[in-house]
Amino acid sequence: MFNKERIREEIIIPPYEGRSAFLRKGEELIIIDMDGKQVGDFVCFNHADPTEYVSPVHMRASLSSIRLKTGDFLYSNKRRPLMQLVEDTVGKHDFFFPACDYYRYKVDFDLEDHPNCHDNLQMALKKYNIDPPVIPDPINLFMNNVVDDLGDYFIAEPLSKPGDFVRLKALDDTVIACTTCSQDLAPVNGWKVTSLKMQIVEAR
């Protein structure tokens, strides 16, 4: 599927964990759903200035949409594009919901120690000395948020199949982090948590 000679780094994200990586301008990031129906919570920071990060609320304003499409830019809180979605085999993602966190499992499921995406992203970013006071809302890759004509929604199982992927191009030097969504108590990941794979492709 991909020219392996151009892959600079390959990273497996195990279930219930997060990983981070550095991308040079022009490099591409491929995120692969290895077993299907696995959401990946994704965040991205400007490497030179981590106070700038991909911001879903600014994306919704800049794109005039809550739908992420091939060719769309991932806009920052400074309204600049940091990445671009250049290829997508699924076509259904979410950038409306926050990452699951301690309070999600405590309030909704009465669980104290369930793994969560917020903490996984926070931990993964420390590899690059990025520790913001607030973790930005993620782009939830492969998440199937179904919205009706009235604006009401429900979460269905992802449409992604084993091997489905997205490809993102870095438009600046960036640090990204992605976590396998930890939700195993709802249909978000098809009721189980599996691995994702990230590949960093050298700039052409």
Residue 178 has pLDDT above 80, yes or no: yes
Residue 2 has pLDDT above 90, yes or no: no
Residue corresponding to tokens 């000395």: 129
pLDDT of 5 reads 64
- pLDDT tens string 121-152: 999 999 999 999 999 999 999 999 998 888 89
Query: ∠ CA(183), CA(184), CA(187), 5° rounding?
Result: 85
User: Running DSSP on this structure, what letter comes out for residue 145?
Assistant: E
User: Running DSSP on this structure, what letter comes out for residue 180?
Assistant: E
Cβ distance 85 to 170 under 8 Å?
no
Cα gap 179→31, rounded to integer Å: 11
pLDDT of 65 reads 92
Residue 4 has pLDDT above 60, yes or no: no
Residue 1 has pLDDT above 60, yes or no: no
Q: What is the mean pLDDT of residues 171-197?
A: 97
* Paired tokens of 193: 């948590």
- Helix/strand number for the chain, H first, E second: 3, 12
Strand order in the sheet with 139-141: 18-23, 174-180, 40-46, 139-141
* Paired tokens of 106: 């405590």
- pLDDT tens string 31-69: 999 999 999 999 999 999 999 999 999 999 999 999 999
Q: Nearest 10 degrees: CA dihedral of 11, 16, 22, 26?
A: 70
Residue 3 has pLDDT above 70, yes or no: no
Residue corresponding to tokens 């671009």: 84
Closest CA to 44 of 52, 35, 36: 52
- pLDDT tens string 68-104: 999 999 999 999 999 999 999 999 999 999 999 999 9
Q: How confident is the model at residue 204 (pLDDT cuts 50, 70, 90)?
A: confident
Q: Which amino acid is at 30?
A: I
